Amino acid sequence: MKKYRSFIFIIAFIALLLTQYKLVMPFVYKVVSSDLFLVNSNDQASQIAISTPLTDIAFHFCNDYIKSELDENVKVTFPDKALNAWTLGNYQFLISADITLTGADAVTSTKKYACRITYNNSDDQAGINDFANWSIIGVSGLKEN
């Protein structure tokens, strides 16, 4: 059995490659080309920054979330509008803005943040002004490295 060890290894390796090539990959290609991952939504993604009523609401909810997460001794000043806002499709938004933070020791700093937020009710915009219908996915840029 020891003298056939490398021969068995090569045969098993070839069998593994053929199985993947003939069985696994065709199945993967069929799944990817199907509508399994298709999301039907009226909100289309955009590669350029946009400004719509939805991005304005998302910007204000991001600001409210940031204010709630900061220490109560820190005074935060938000701009009137976001620097940039992108729709990622399916009512997901990426908001970028500058804020001014003033600490208890009167040190002022300007930070740029990015906030990813999702409107959970998709095309039903009846509850768009209720924060319970939104989800903050993440905020970056506020913490010190």
Residues forming a β-bridge with 114: 96, 140
Residues 24 and 61 in one domain: no
- Which residues constitute the domain of residue 14? 2-33
What tens-digit pLDDT sequence spans the chain (145 residues)? 678 899 999 999 999 999 999 999 999 999 888 888 776 777 778 888 888 889 999 999 999 999 998 888 889 999 999 999 999 988 999 999 999 988 877 788 899 999 999 999 888 888 889 999 999 999 998 776 4
Residue 44 lies in a domain: no
Residue 128 lies in a domain: yes
Residues 8 and 69 in one domain: no
Q: How many domains does the chain have?
A: 2
Give which of 129, 38, 44, 119 is closest to 87, Cα–Cα.
Answer: 44
Residue 43 lies in a domain: no
Residue 110 lies in a domain: yes
Residue 38 lies in a domain: no
DSSP single-letter state for residue 141 = S
Spatial separation of the C-alpha atoms in residues 78 and 68, rounded to whole Å? 13
